[in-house]
Each structure stands twice: as structure tokens, then as C-alpha cells.
Structure 1
């Protein structure tokens, strides 16, 4: 090796050794500790000074020796380390005191540009003492408890908490940086609709907050499925909550979610009362179009119900009763991180009857008036035993500040034993029904960082329907069972402050069993089907810096897999655009493609005397394809301080429907043809609202047609749900604690089909077959109903609130025909069956909450 290299290596070795020695020496100096008394004695010798102190105060105190050689800096270092009060008496003498109070000071700056923060509040927690920072951000306080917590806050900044002992008075005072506070605000609403607690979001969806709910005509409780029918484009032709029609679609085309669980039963009293307790339902979202890509199913609409999801330190609850049922609900904290919610409701109808019960029962079972030979009304004798109940439970567990675990459970039940006798026809029918839905689900919300979060959902839902009917020698038994399991994972990533990216995967497995047993003629059938749906979705949401443009666009891919008969892929783009032309005037464009593989079959529509007739079935790709829809709408909204005007036009087309899912009661009743329907419509709402009153008028025009190529001409004809004109005029008034609501609902009649007047029945068969005119070529008379309600709120005592209410449905007692169909009786003549609306129906409620 050359000598030059040897010298170079030697020099490098020496440098490395010196560096190691220096670092080691520095570390030793930094970590060198000694007793404070020993160090004070060294200072006294070095600087020729004297300290006065009590051994009990500082005898056990250890310190790290300061590196400074300047006495003032050394003493300042000791104050910070020990939190002792070191005071200079003169040039030679100092005192050291260990006190429970200290003097603190600081300078408050922002952490962005380190500008001074003037006017910040500096508060000593658990005391009444506070101070405001001066124009330069400075503050100082004397006699602060040594172990006190200091809170520093200012509008626009995150609150800072710090121990007082970390701010011991030094020179210079410690600098404190406040982080700017960027709050993620709740989505801005366009307008509070009609009544308090009912608002429209920027994306066009309608949100209902039941806790803040005001009053609507005919309602004394915030029934979710009744309330949404106050909105344009949503109605129930048969006056039930279990058959809600959103923009001309059938009820099975609605996705109903409760805490993320798909529900296959939604009503009590066979659809006349909602099965969901509204007093723990914190938030309800209704979507008619422009759906987020995270939602599948529901080709007509979505009703998403969420119970209260936040822990509270205090328990709360309530209860009440009306003339149909009684209920209790509440939330009980089980600790700082765990709480339990519950609700329960049961009908009172098997203990006593009321006018309300009698009218609802008449609507459900007795309003089918049979006219023998199109002329004579028939008397019917009836007997019944009926009750319903529902209860829910939810466990809320906050694992930590960033993870929340939730478990939910719901059980719904309807039971009926029913018999009727028609003496004039010597006909007796005995029917029974047991309808149950129980579901459980869980969710885990995780916030992994400020920008990334996930939500994991899983659930199991089980629906059972056992129905039987016996007439003379013939008995009929029908069973329908749905078992569904689902897993869903959402991930949410905030790319920028105004740009959000949602991604996810969902797996749903649905098993449906249908069983039928008939004695005469003897027949039995049991069919069990299974379908799996794998879904991937991705969606971007963007808000412009000036907040005028809000957009959401995404896509959902579904793979429908039935091992025996079905393998279908659907691609579903979704679009939602809202643009503010001015502060008051906004325009929105909504569009979506959707699909679903589960429908309801209305088999033997004329049996069971009004008892539940719907049975869930799965798409098989042949007799019942996957149902697909596409929809686009354009709307414009004007919302000033007290006035809202909204106009929206839409077009929707739904393909892959079967006549067996549409409830035909004519020549198409027993067919199985595949077709579609398309609907064009306009929805209008004007609402004038102040703190004292709200008055509104709404109007909807729909043109809704079926197309079935295999049905004899005409192949295109009005939909069974084609209601051309719907209008509402209503208002509410508030006098302090008294609320009054009155409303009028109008719509044109639904289509129906009459027998051919020249040749009404084909008597070559027995029983004969009815010869009908063109499908849905006639319409029922127009529908008109007036409702009213009054609610009075009052306090029983501090912390306990109460309310009492009275409502009257159809207070004019107008007789509206809801449906007309025809059947052949035992004498081979045609009977006309007419179904009527509710008559005048009062109700009363009393509620307490705390």
C-alpha cells in the first residue's frame, strides 16, 4: 500500500475517534445528574453567592447539570426543571421555595405563519380564573396551582391544553403554537321542507330528523313511512305504508334499510302502520334519483333509516301510547365507552278495541264489498284475533377516539286468525297469518388518519310468512322465507379538502324458499333459490372552492350469480350535479343506472281476503330477469329566507318486469309475460314558511305506461300505478306549545279493466272465464281526502317533557274507491269487488320523554 494512502487512513481514524469521543462526552454531559443540594453548593463556591432553602423542600430533588456558564441562565434552567420558585434577594443572596403555586407566562402564535394571536382565552381549568392575550399574544398569571391544566382557545383554532408547570415563568416566556381549525361541516341543506326536521340536501335527497320533527296533517307521531308520502312523487295508492310507490314504481323496487340492514317487512296491521319505531330513528334519508354508488338494489328509490349512533353520558328515553299501541324506548350508558339502546312496541287491540282500530280493521279486511251479479251487496259475518309487536336493541361501543363498534337487532311480528261467513252464499272461509322479520347487524367505523377512514358492515336478515286459507273442502297453505347475509366494506380517502374518493366492495347472498300446498285439487310445491351478488364501486365527490358546484360521480359493477340459472353482470354509472347560479337559485342534474335480483310476486291476488299476498322471489334469468332501471332528471330550486319553489322533470325506464310482480286483476293475472314500463313526469313544490306557520302546495304529473310484447294488442297500455295528476295543499300553524296541521290530498283514479259488456263471460268453462275489455282502459273516480292534527307540548317537571295529540284522517268521511276487480262466483256469474279507503278515523296519543 502506498505511504500516501497509509497517512490518509491514519488521519481518518483519528478524526473518527475524536468524533466518537466528542459525542460520547456530550452524551455523558447531557445525561449527568446530581442532587440539587450538591449542585447549589457548587454554584455558591463558583459565583460567591448564598442560597436559603429548607432541606425538606429540595432534599430529594435531582437535576441535570446545565451546560451554561452564565448564572442567570443556570437559574432559569433550574426553575424549568424543578418548578421551584428561585428568587433573587440581592447581589449575594437567593431563596429557593417549593410552593404549590407557580407563576406562568407565554406567547401565543399561530402555527401557520407564526402571527401573534390576540384575544385568545387562557383559562385555568377547574377554577374561575382566565385571562385574554394582549395585542402581541402575551399572557402571564400568578399563583397558578402547580398541577393545574391550562386551556388556550380562540375562534378558528384548535383548543390547546397544556400543564401549568410547563409554562413556569421564564425569560423569555415559552412560545405556544395554535393549530388552525378546519372543521368538516355537515352537508349544507337547500331548504327545510314543509315542517321542522324535514330538509332537502344539495344532492337532491330528502333527510328527516325525527327528534326535531314538527307536525304534518293527519300525523301525531313522526311515522317515517307516512311522512315521506307528503313529498311530491311519493304516494301509496292503497293507503298503506307497505306499498309505497316512488315515481310510479312498485314497493318491491324500493330499498328499505334499517341501520344498514335490508328489510323485507316494513308494516304492521298489514301495511297500515310503519313497523319502525320513530323515536330511536335518528335520521332518515330518502333518495329518488342520483343515488351514491355505494347503494345497490332499489331501482325506484331508497329509504335509509339510521338509529342514534352517538354515546351520551346520561341516559334518556320515553314512552307513550295511542289508540292502537303502546311503546317504550331509551338509551342507557353502561360506562364511558359503552351504551345500550332499546325500543319496544305492542298493539293493544287484543285487550280492547277502539274506533281507530275498528276503522283500520275495516280498511284491511272488510272494505272489499262484493256485489253479486254486479248489483246486490252481500252481507258477511266475521271473527278475528289479531296483534302485532316490534322491538329493537343496539349496543354502542367506542373502542377509542378513532374506532366505533355497533351491533343492532330488530324483530317485527304480525299475527292473525280470521274467519268470515257469507250466509247467502253458504260460504265460510278461515284464514291465518304469521309474519315475522328478525335481523341483526354490526358495523365498525375506523379513522386511520385525517384523510383516510373505513366502514365495515355485515348483517343477517330473516323474513318468514306463513299464511293459510280454508274454504269448504279446499285449503291452501303458503310459506315464504327469505334469509340474507351481507358483507360490505367502504373506504373513504380525502384527496384534497374539496375532493373525496369513495371505494368499496359488497357481497350479498340471498336465499328464498316458496312453498304451496293445496288440498283440492291436490297440489304441492316447494322451491328454494339462491343468488349471490358481488359488487365493486368507486365514486368521486368534488366541491368547488367557491361552493357553487357540488358534484358526485361514480360507477357500480354487479355480478349476479345463481348456480343453476343466472350469471349476469351489470354496469351502473351514477351522476349527481348541483350548481348554484345565484345564492337563491340552484340547478341539479341527476342520473343513475340500477339493478336488482329480488322482487315480490303477487300470486293469487284475489285470495286471503286482503291478508298479505306478496311473496318474495329471486330472478332466474328466464321467467324473471334481473330488473334494470335507468333514470335522468333535471331540477331547479329557488330558496330564499322563507320561500322555496322547486320544479323537477324526470324520465325513468324499468326493464325486466314480469306480470306476476305487478298485481294484475284482469286477463293478465295468471300470465307470466316479460316487459317494461317507462314513466315521464314533473314534480312541483312551493312552500312559504316562517317560525309560526308553513303553507305549501305540491303537484305531480306522471305518464306511466307498460309495454308487454307478448300481450295481445295494444301491447302498450297504462301502468297499474299510473296516477296522472296528484296534488296537495296543506299548512301548519304554531302557537307557542300548540301545533296545528290541516291538509287536502287529491289524485286522479288508477286504471282498471272491465268485462266486455256484450260478452262478459265464457260459459264453456266452469267456473267461467271473464272476457275483458282492453287492459286498463277505464279509470276509477278521483280520490280526495282531508286530514287534520293537533299536538300540544308541555313540561311535567324539569327534565321531563310530555305531549298529547289528536288527529283525524279523512275528516270529511269521503268514500274513495281504491280498487275494483271482478271474479266468477259459484253460480257462474260475475261479482264486482270494490275496495274503499279509510273512513273518518280519529286517533289520540300521549307521550313522555326525559
Structure 2
């Protein structure tokens, strides 16, 4: 039996690594000195001149008190009553001693806090139909229980307890079982239904998406993980993609995206229009904009932590479906009581079936590029997970994910003489493992390791091989992490941990005419220690989380740094339904994405990961603080939050400049000051919400004139008005999105060309001194659920993105044509984009 409480963390660690306490008894009376049963039988043999026949292994370890009454039969009855042994008389001299196949058991269930009895607790004999509940005194008993059976004891508010039937073998008094209270420190929901089913806001300021309970959002018929995140205030994508999500004005590479604890360097399909993660095995997604727990490193803008289903089910479950872009299937298969296999797979239909959805997507992705819309393009992803429970308190999980995007394109020159074959591939393969251990009722450990590899390869060759261009971006990262959680008291939790990460990145470019070759490699190792205290009052009115990380970052070739990152999250209910939130954090990251612009390859934008070197690319650091006020009256939520965010160490090459500064490599920073507002009215049948965000987002580059100007990702004003309605099995959602146009830079209207340099360059106005037209999009979606039979459920859905067919300008830039004339290039949003789906699940 596990020990309930240890006096200190130090003592727990000693117990953890040096000792493994156990109890092999059978609930016997401990009031007298015990002797081995074998010794007692030998005494009886000598005293009464009899012989006991038994298998030594059956009696090994069994102990018993000496009989208080004399006589052979009384002693035999004493042994039978106190042990799981059956003694049969063969004749006047010989007796047979065997372990009984079935035994009688009893127990008394108590709580381990005040030692009170627990009536109404459910007691089950696993792998049988025996079950009962404890009486008013917390007692239970069973007859004819298999000796090797396992007994499960559960009650709402307490942790489920498992014990062998042998330990509960009938004795006087019955065996006492102490159940530990079940605490969920991070599960206190502030808003039980946030915008739609399956979205919840928690006391630490994080937002969690539960895909199994997910409702409907405008424009989505399936719970696309990264698209759904953009329904939240402060999370947008200026170019309508899921692979370029901007959290409070930050770039996508400043987000930490985790899948089962593995850092992901690729997150999208179809050039970012579709999420690369299967939502049907993803159990929950935690989204953090500020006040990040010290458990997380990296990601100066935000965190998206995806976790797949982690429990072994007794029966097989799964599903499959298709829409107008791809088909997929998923499932979990139990291999035994404590072993299960999860899998999911998805593949696009794009290389053999062109649907209206594919046509619209490809027109947006490949507009103003050399890629034809009838190119050979496809994508797929696959995940696998092995779940193994060593016992109820130690669980092993092994996870694998593989993501692939493949584009093969053939173009012909204007005169029809030169044919060029090109390919652009993105491949990500990652695997990891974890061991989750509950050593005592108040001490837990989580050990994680992972390896991830991402590769972007671009290759172009003419038919005559006169010109060949090869580009490759390779990321290899491995990490190990140990996290410990100690519950000092029911309201106070202490988390500590260590994380080691090694990241290697290689960038290769080869061009044969004119000859050019570049091969840049780098490796950074980081060691991080973190600690965090979490406190929540019993009445749930106050939640406080204080912590920090100590990072040692070492680039093998160039630099070493030590960084201290404090973290803070406080939520206080100062009046009924009113909560005040204070969040703050210091964060850093040493990986960035260099943006290869449209002019670089096939007219497509590519993003290449690279490492900080403290020369051209410093370690990026951020400071953020926010103050929020929430009102939640169960069916009405109103929230307002003001924030301040400063990010330093950014390079213009990571920001996507398309003006006079795009190739200069200046180092600077950006500062965002903003306010986010949300009002959400909800009932059991509908949810309606209005959100508004204001952002004042400005760069500072001291070597650029002027040094201060608007950020490329500034969206000064953004509004969302949306709602969904549920009627029986029918769900419908509709939403309107409006935002200010993002900044861009025009050529000088008087002297658009600078002819004083060779080659001739465009002469621009001040950086980001102009703004694109405002953006407006209206989306709608509907689904209907029904049963095919008792076990198989089905759903059909339809959606339309941008049903007003407004041509929103997402970006404008300029280039020189062959005649040295300034040419305007605009990237336009998705047009009317219909989609439909059919799914089954069981």
C-alpha cells in the first residue's frame, strides 16, 4: 500500500530513488507478534505428530499470529480464518495445505484527510460482475472473490484506488483503506462555455479547447485546431493561414507549438491553409497569450500545447470522414487491459480530384506565381501512439507524427523553348516518449523525451540542365525534461523541473549559373531549471501562480548566455461574479524563421528556420504584462484586458519586409500596446459574441530612418460578431470579421526609381506609411448529426468562407519588370470557398 503523506520533499526523493515500500500482508490482526505460517505448521507437526503437505512457494511470505487456544483443530481453524489457505484432512496423520482459489474479503473506506468513513463509495471486483457500494459506516464485503482479483474503489471527489483481493482477505477488524482527495489545481473553470462548446477559460488565464465536446464555429465544419484558435480575441492571421498565426502582433515563429510535448517546426498543409494536426485524437489544446507557466520555455508570443487522448479505453473506438480537400481516419485499439494503440491518417485528394474548394485554395496559394493550378500537389499526415500502463500509478506513452507536403511543378517559358521542372517539399517527422508517475498521494513526476526533424527542400532544373537551383533547410532537435509536482497542502502546489534541449539547423543553397554555394550550420544547447508555486484558496476566490526559469544557452561557435525569466499569474474574485486578472512574463527564444519572399523561388514564399548567433540574429527576448477584468454570471461573460508587450532582438529578415529595408539585416524591437474586449451571451441552445481588439504595434530600428514606424503585422482595429445555434442534432454558425488594413510601403509618387545606383532600385516612401483597405469577411457553417445504427454515429456538414465574395487585399508589394518599370503586385484573400463533409464515428 502506498504511503499517504511524507513529511518533506527531500524525504520523498530519498524514498523515490532508494526504497520501494510495499505491504504484502492480508489484513491480519497486528495486535500480536507474527510468525511465518510455515514455522507454525512445523510446530503443530512436532506437537501433534502430524504431517502437512504444501508447496513452499504458496506459503512463502505469509505470516500469522500464534493461536490463543490450544488443540490441533483450533489451530487449523485459526490458520484458515487468518490466511487465504485451505487445509484438508487426508487421514489421521496427513493434511493437505493449498491456497484457496476464492476468498472472502472486507474493508472499511476512509478519507485520508480527517479519517472519516466514506459511505456510497463504489467497490468493483475487476474482470467480474461483482460490485457494491459501502454502507453508512464505509464498509463492504464480498464472498467467493478470485484470490488474484484486483479491487477498484472509487468515489466522486477522491482518487480511484486499486488493491489486490488478497490484501482484503477477511480479518477482524476489516482492512482500512484511505482514499486521497482528488485535487485539480489547474482545472478551475472561469467560463464553462466560452464562445462554443469545448472552449473554456481557466483561472491561470489560459484557454483550453476540448475537441471531443467542440461545438461549431462560423466557416468550420470540422474542429480545425489552428483555425479555431483564431476565433479568440488577440489571435489572428494577417494572411488567412493557419501556419502564420499572429498572437498579439507577433510573428508565427514566436509561437511555441507543442504536440504531445514535442516542439513542432511545421504546422500547416496546403501552404498554411489547413492545420496539419488531426483534431479527432487531440484531446485538448491549451492556448496561452500571457502569464505562461514556467514549465514552458521558448515562444515569446504565445503557446499552443496540443495533447492527444491519454487514457486506455476498454473497447475500440474510431472514425473516418472526408471533405472536399482530404479524407482521413483515426482510432484506438486496445491490445490488452493495460496496452492500447492509437493511430490517425489523412491524405489530400488534390492530385487526382479538383473540387471547388481546391480550386479556390490553389488560386490563393499560387496567385502571381509560376505554379499552375493543375500541378501535381498533395499532402498527408500520420500519427501513432502507444499507451502502456505499468500499473495504475505509472504510465508510459510513445508518440509519433509525420507530416508531408509535396509540390511538383512543370513550367514552360513564354517562347515555348525552355521547360523547367521544380519541386518544393516539406517533411516533418517527430517522435517522443513520456513516463507519468504518481509516487504518493501528493508527489508526481513527469519525464519526457523527444526528437523532431523538419526539412524544407526546393529544387529547380531546366530541361537542358543549364540552370539548377537547390535549397535545403534542415532542423534537428532533441530534448529531455523532468517535471516534479509536490502538493504541500491541498491548496498549495510546488512544481520543479529541468529541461535540456539541443537544436541543430542547416541551411544550404547551391546555384550553378552564376555559381554560388552556401552551407550554414549551427548547434545550440540549452539547460533550463524552473520552479513554480501555485496557490488557490478553498473558496476558489484567489488563484496565484509565481515562478520562473533559469536558462543557460550556448551556441557552440559564438556565445553563451544566462537568462532569468520570471512568470506571474493572479486571479482574484473581489466581488460576486467579478474577477481581476494580473498576468506577466519574461520569455526568450533562439530559433527564428528567415522569410524568403515571393521573388525567391517559383513566386512562392518560403520560411527557413535559423539559429541565433548574437551577431546577425540575437536571442529574441520579450516582456509582457496585462491587467484584465472579467464578469461571469453563468450565461453572460464580459471581459476586458489591457496588455503591454515588448520584444527585442528581432531582425528585419524575420519580419517579411518588402521595401527598402528587406535585405539590410537591421536589428531592432517592437512594442505592442493594446486592449481586448469580449462579450459573450450563451444559453443551452445558442451562443453569441462580439469581440474587439485594439493594437498599437510599432517597430524601433535605430539604423533605419525614421527609426520608429508601424509593425508589418499591425491590425489597429479588429471586430468579430458571431454566433451559433443548436437545435436537436442540427448546428449552425455565422460570423462577420472586420479589421483595419495592415501597413505597407509605397514607392515615392514623385521619383519612384533610384537611377543613381546599379542596378536600378525602387525609391520608397517612409516604411509602412500607407495602409491597405480594411478587411471584411463573412462565414457560415452547418452540421447535422444522426445515428446509422446503435454503435455508429454520422454527421454531414457544409460551410462557406467569405460568402459575400469580397476581394480583400492581404498584401501589396512592388517590383521592377524587365523594362525597369514599377509593377504593383497584390495578394488577394480567398474568394467564395464552399466545403462539405461526411463523417462516421463509433
Which of 782, 797, 802 is the aligned partner of 1:810? 802
1:639-788 alignment, distance < 5 Å: 639-712=632-705, 714-765=706-757, 767-788=759-780
Which whole-Å CA distance do the structure 2 matches of 1:28 and 1:846 have between them? 67
Q: Is the contact made by 2:108 and 2:177 (CA closer than 8 Å) also made in structure 1?
A: no
Q: Is the contact made by 1:114 and 1:177 (CA closer than 8 Å) also made in structure 2?
A: no
Q: Is the contact made by 1:364 and 1:610 (CA closer than 8 Å) also made in structure 2?
A: no
Q: Is the contact made by 1:36 and 1:63 (CA closer than 8 Å) also made in structure 2?
A: no
Provide, for residues 732-773 of structure 1, a one-character-per-residue CA deviation record: whole Å limited to 9, x for no partner.
011111100000000000001111111111234554210011
Relative to structure 1, is the Cα distance of residues 175 and 610 closer, same or farther in structure 2, using a 3 angstrom cutoff? same
1:39-438 alignment, distance < 5 Å: 66-68=67-69, 80-81=81-82, 133=135, 145=144, 174=173, 177=176, 179=178, 181-185=180-184, 187-191=187-191, 192-366=193-367, 384-419=375-410, 423=414, 431-438=422-429
Residue 226 of structure 2 aligns to a residue in which SS?
helix
Relative to structure 1, is the Cα distance of residues 518 and 156 closer, same or farther in structure 2, using a 3 angstrom cutoff? closer
Match in the other structure for 2:789? 797
Which whole-Å CA distance do the structure 2 matches of 1:513 and 1:844 have between them? 41
Residue 774 of structure 1 aligns to a residue in which SS?
coil
Which whole-Å CA distance do the structure 2 matches of 1:64 and 1:498 have between them? 43
Q: Is the contact made by 1:263 and 1:461 (CA closer than 8 Å) also made in structure 2?
A: yes
Which whole-Å CA distance do the structure 1 matches of 2:595 and 2:64 have between them? 86
Q: Is the contact made by 1:381 and 1:422 (CA closer than 8 Å) also made in structure 2?
A: no
Which whole-Å CA distance do the structure 2 matches of 1:103 and 1:520 have between them? 87
Which whole-Å CA distance do the structure 2 matches of 1:102 and 1:398 have between them? 27
- Per mean C-alpha deviation after superposition, the further-off stretch among 529-538 and 747-756 is 529-538
Residue 440 of structure 2 aligns to a residue in which SS?
coil
Cα offset for 1:119?
6.9
Which whole-Å CA distance do the structure 1 matches of 2:550 and 2:307 have between them? 26
Match in the other structure for 1:19? none
1:552-563 alignment, distance < 5 Å: 552-563=545-556
Relative to structure 1, is the Cα distance of residues 32 and 847 closer, same or farther in structure 2, using a 3 angstrom cutoff? closer
Residue 336 of structure 2 aligns to a residue in which SS?
coil
Q: Is the contact made by 2:122 and 2:131 (CA closer than 8 Å) also made in structure 1?
A: no
Q: Is the contact made by 2:688 and 2:724 (CA closer than 8 Å) also made in structure 1?
A: yes
Q: Is the contact made by 2:718 and 2:740 (CA closer than 8 Å) also made in structure 1?
A: yes
Which whole-Å CA distance do the structure 2 matches of 1:29 and 1:241 have between them? 69
Relative to structure 1, is the Cα distance of residues 154 and 672 closer, same or farther in structure 2, using a 3 angstrom cutoff? closer
**Which structure's CA Rg is the greater one?**
1
Which whole-Å CA distance do the structure 2 matches of 1:828 and 1:129 have between them? 85
Relative to structure 1, is the Cα distance of residues 175 and 111 closer, same or farther in structure 2, using a 3 angstrom cutoff? farther
Q: Is the contact made by 1:146 and 1:164 (CA closer than 8 Å) also made in structure 2?
A: no
Match in the other structure for 2:580? 587
Relative to structure 1, is the Cα distance of residues 565 and 844 closer, same or farther in structure 2, using a 3 angstrom cutoff? same
Relative to structure 1, is the Cα distance of residues 118 and 75 closer, same or farther in structure 2, using a 3 angstrom cutoff? farther
Q: Is the contact made by 2:35 and 2:64 (CA closer than 8 Å) also made in structure 1?
A: no
Relative to structure 1, is the Cα distance of residues 729 and 65 closer, same or farther in structure 2, using a 3 angstrom cutoff? closer
Relative to structure 1, is the Cα distance of residues 288 and 624 closer, same or farther in structure 2, using a 3 angstrom cutoff? same
Relative to structure 1, is the Cα distance of residues 71 and 256 closer, same or farther in structure 2, using a 3 angstrom cutoff? closer
Which whole-Å CA distance do the structure 2 matches of 1:672 and 1:392 have between them? 39
Relative to structure 1, is the Cα distance of residues 610 and 536 closer, same or farther in structure 2, using a 3 angstrom cutoff? farther
Relative to structure 1, is the Cα distance of residues 363 and 160 closer, same or farther in structure 2, using a 3 angstrom cutoff? closer
Residue 406 of structure 2 aligns to a residue in which SS?
strand
Cα offset for 1:405?
1.4
Residue 751 of structure 2 aligns to a residue in which SS?
coil
Q: Does 1:535 align with 2:536?
A: no
1:608-623 alignment, distance < 5 Å: 608-623=601-616
Residue 508 of structure 1 aligns to a residue in which SS?
strand
Q: Is the contact made by 1:265 and 1:437 (CA closer than 8 Å) also made in structure 2?
A: yes
Which whole-Å CA distance do the structure 1 matches of 2:83 and 2:510 have between them? 88
Match in the other structure for 2:89? none
Match in the other structure for 2:459? 468
Which whole-Å CA distance do the structure 1 matches of 2:104 and 2:374 have between them? 85
Provide, for residues 41-93 of structure 1, a one-character-per-residue CA deviation record: whole Å limited to 9, x for no partner.
9xxxxxxxxxxxxxxxxxxxx998732589999999688459999xxxxxxxx
Q: Is the contact made by 1:244 and 1:251 (CA closer than 8 Å) also made in structure 2?
A: yes
Which whole-Å CA distance do the structure 2 matches of 1:300 and 1:715 have between them? 23
Residue 592 of structure 1 aligns to a residue in which SS?
strand
Match in the other structure for 1:442? 433
Relative to structure 1, is the Cα distance of residues 699 and 146 closer, same or farther in structure 2, using a 3 angstrom cutoff? closer
Match in the other structure for 2:487? 494
Residue 362 of structure 1 aligns to a residue in which SS?
helix
Q: Is the contact made by 1:766 and 1:828 (CA closer than 8 Å) also made in structure 2?
A: no
Q: How many residues align?
A: 778
Cα offset for 1:287?
0.8
Residue 375 of structure 2 aligns to a residue in which SS?
strand
Q: Does 1:547 align with 2:536?
A: no
Match in the other structure for 2:27? none
Which whole-Å CA distance do the structure 2 matches of 1:26 and 1:764 have between them? 102
Runs of 5+ in structure 1 lacking a partner?
Answer: 1-23, 42-61, 86-98, 369-378
Which whole-Å CA distance do the structure 2 matches of 1:495 and 1:380 have between them? 61
Q: Does 1:571 align with 2:570?
A: no
Which whole-Å CA distance do the structure 2 matches of 1:556 and 1:269 have between them? 37
Which whole-Å CA distance do the structure 1 matches of 2:34 and 2:354 have between them? 91
Which whole-Å CA distance do the structure 2 matches of 1:655 and 1:437 have between them? 29
Relative to structure 1, is the Cα distance of residues 457 and 164 closer, same or farther in structure 2, using a 3 angstrom cutoff? closer
Q: Is the contact made by 2:34 and 2:66 (CA closer than 8 Å) also made in structure 1?
A: no
Residue 813 of structure 1 aligns to a residue in which SS?
coil
Residue 214 of structure 1 aligns to a residue in which SS?
coil
Cα offset for 1:447?
2.2
Q: Is the contact made by 2:103 and 2:146 (CA closer than 8 Å) also made in structure 1?
A: no
- Per mean C-alpha deviation after superposition, the further-off stretch among 257-266 and 66-75 is 66-75
- TM-score normalised to the size of structure 1? 0.84
